[in-house]
Amino acid sequence: MLVFKFPKPMIVVFAAFILIGTALSTVMKSRPVGTPAPPPRPVSNPLVFKILSIALALSSLVTFCILLFGFVSFMNSWERWHQYEGHPYQQAEFVVTKAYFQKHNRGGPYLYASGTVNGDKEWMSLGPYLHYVPRSQEELDAGLAAGTVIPIYFFPDMKGRARVQVLSDPPPAEASRRAAMRTLNSSLIGLAVMAGILFLLVLLRRSCYTDMETSFQQASTGPGGLT
């Protein structure tokens, strides 16, 4: 992460998860091989215990989803941010020559177009420009005819479709930086909230256990007192 210049908050979060995982693994492996598992502790209220266990499992799943999808979303914005950061650009117009609809087995179709920028042939991804997803080449042609003029940012020192980006406010690098920071902040807040919920659920679930010694004494005395 340091080599690829990841943000310091993300490095701290992942370091914390690595330390927690290592600690849990060490605790689980500390019991000698062949040692019989301790008997299950008695529970004072099995129904509440079961509900809390389900809530704990669901909360753990939510925490994992926040970490996974937050990381993917952040990295997409982070890569785009550094892809365009520092590159010169200018406002121009992309004149569509032909739009292309290409089916894909996973996810939606590839939508792109050939055209000209300042008289030179260029290519452009149409996903950020279109506000709908066409279902066929005919539907795409009906919505984006040849000769359509699209306001763009043009990056002359880049290659391929990355050279042409739809005009937006702010420009691509700044927009991606803001998106990355929003994702990072919201993910960290979500993880902090879920950590508090998990801690509370663990405490409540632990309170459902009955002390072994008290349980043994109650079982020995029976309903009528000492036997």
Q: Where are the beta strands (DSSP E) in the chain?
A: 90-102, 110-117, 120-125, 149-154, 164-166
pLDDT number for residue 158 = 92
pLDDT number for residue 220 = 47
Phi, psi (5° rounding) for residue 2?
A: -65, -35
pLDDT number for residue 155 = 95
pLDDT number for residue 214 = 46
pLDDT number for residue 213 = 45
Sort 84 into a burial class: Cβ within 10 Å, 0-12 / 13-18 / 19+. Answer: buried
Sign of CA dihedral 25, 27, 32, 34: negative
> How far is Cα 142 from Cα 75, in angstroms, rounded to an integer?
35
pLDDT number for residue 91 = 94
Residues with pLDDT less than 70, the chain:
1-14, 16-17, 20-21, 23-40, 105-107, 211-227
